Amino acid sequence: MKKTVSVLLLAVISLTFFSCEIRKFVPGKSFFEQTDVFVAGQDGIAEYRIPVLLTSNQGTLLAFCDARVDKPGDSPNNIDLVMKRSTDNGKTWGPLRVLLDAGEGGTVDSCGLVDRKTGTLWVFTVYCPVGIGTKNAKSGISGSTFMYWAIKSDDDGQTWSDPIDITAMIKKPEWRAGSPGPGKGLQLKNGRLIIPKYYRSTDDSSDSTSHIVFSDDHGKSWELGGEAQSQEKTNESQIVELSDGRLLLNMRGESGNFRKVARSSDKGLSWSKVTNDMTLIDSRCQASLLNFTDNTNYQKNRILFSNPASTKREKMTIRLSYDDGWTWPAERQLYAGPSAYSCLTILSDMTIGCLYERGQQGPYEKITFARVNLEWLTKGKDSLTPK
């Protein structure tokens, strides 16, 4: 009886807050829609890259990315951090807002995080001074080097804090470059906040190591966690908490065409040997990894993964695992053409959102929001069943 009442109450709440979208989405039927959010040339921006997508505690969608103002390309460049909000599950998006503008310098390669216990929205970004990029950054925590800023919002993304310099907390002085994410961080069930990150410590641009930073006081302070040491160098990564409490780190490699993975049994303080996931073909591109459901609230544990599933940046694909990322039995292609970075989120009605780069001639022409349901992803073989 309690189960029935809970399900009915959830349905009433969903209908109250998401009525405009639920008229389109019928549970049990395949659902897919796409909307372009950032398009090169719009709002005076030459190129948009590096998508971040968050769902707030209020159900608002927040899309962030790099706005490469005058010309395409990584730092050194004039790059701002920008955002759009959606209050109707991604059907429409508000105007472009500039959250960080470092002049002719850059705020780049961002990583988002929602603290579900406090409702605070976080975005972590790299500050690149004028003229500084990965190839010429010096070691140190200030000056001609990569520095790390955070901004936060406590009002559903309406207003944002001034940048908070956390460089000294999450960077060793001998490190030169590297970024958080990009994509999103993770809050563990015990409340710990984790940001996946990587660093470069030498002049060799392929010499990089994935690691994490964490906070146990809701972002007031940050500490360095474990490094996923490997002969096969890794960089951009994403992280999930597994059904047994361990962590899975999924990484972009500097070589080969498969994703690199490692696991942690101590909340990210140390990592297992880095291995290749031979199912997850990769073009050495950023990817997204996300917890979807667990068997506390639903019948099955589910993890989502998205990337361009090819040796080239093309074929943006979402995959599904039921066994903590050991196998990926379900997959569906979002877009067959040129595509690159992506970021997954779960909407308040339990549909799946993916913000990803795509185009006709190349993968960086626009950033698109796709919304699908589990039935679409599994071609009708699976659907959500609350406990």
- Report mean pLDDT in 10-residue bins for the chain, 387 residues: 36 34 55 97 98 98 98 98 98 98 98 98 98 96 98 98 98 97 97 98 83 98 96 94 97 96 98 97 98 93 98 98 98 98 98 98 98 97 90
Annotated catalytic residue 232: no
Within-domain flag for 236: yes
Domain count, the chain: 1
* pLDDT at residue 202 in the model: 80
What is the Cα–Cα distance from 370 to 19, expressed in whole angstroms? 19
Instruction: Give this prediction's pTM.
Output: 0.92
What is the Cα–Cα distance from 125 to 206, expressed in whole angstroms? 21
Tell which residue, 163, 79, 158, has the closest CA to residue 124.
163
Q: What angle do CA 79, 153, 356 make, to 5 degrees?
A: 50
Tokens found for residue 315: 């074929």
Q: Measured between alpha carbons, how far is residue 264 from residues 137, 207, 220, 367 in Å? A: 31, 22, 24, 33
Tokens found for residue 267: 């909340």
Q: Find all residues with CB under 8 Å of 174, minimum gap 6, and list them.
A: 139, 201
Q: Measured between alpha carbons, how far is residue 184 from residues 122, 279, 359 in Å? A: 10, 23, 23
What is the Cα–Cα distance from 309 to 66, expressed in whole angstroms? 23
What is the Cα–Cα distance from 46 to 26, expressed in whole angstroms? 39
- How far is residue 200 CA from its own chain's centroid? 21
Instruction: Classify the C-alpha dihedral 209-63-334-383 as positive or negative.
Output: positive
Within-domain flag for 382: no
Within-domain flag for 343: yes
Block residue for tokens 């942690």: 264
Q: How many Cα atoms within 13 Å fall on the side-chain side of residue 272?
A: 13
Q: How many Cα atoms within 13 Å fall on the side-chain side of residue 259?
A: 29
Cα dihedral 286, 192, 112, 147, rounded to 10, equals -80
Q: Measured between alpha carbons, how far is residue 25 from residues 235, 340, 351 in Å? A: 38, 28, 9
Question: Which of the residues 47, 236, 314, 375 is marked catalytic?
Answer: 236
Within-domain flag for 211: yes
What's the domain range around 324? 2-377
229: CATH:
2.120.10.10
Q: Which ranges of the chain would DSSP assign to H, the alpha helix?
A: 2-17, 19-22, 167-170, 374-377
Within-domain flag for 292: yes
| Per-residue pLDDT tens digits for 50-81 | 999 999 999 999 999 999 999 999 999 999 99
Tokens found for residue 166: 């956390």
Point out which residues pair with 306 in neighbouring strands: 288, 318
Within-domain flag for 385: no
* Residue 288 main-chain phi, psi, to 5 deg: -125, 145
* pLDDT at residue 27 in the model: 56
Within-domain flag for 116: yes
**Are 280 and 298 spatial neighbours (Cβ–Cβ below 8 Å)?**
no
Within-domain flag for 123: yes
What is the Cα–Cα distance from 104 to 125, expressed in whole angstroms? 16
* pLDDT at residue 232 in the model: 84
Tell which residue, 358, 305, 355, 334, has the closest CA to residue 90.
355
Tokens found for residue 306: 């998205």
Neighbours of 8 (CB within 10 A): 10
What is the Cα–Cα distance from 23 to 26, expressed in whole angstroms? 7
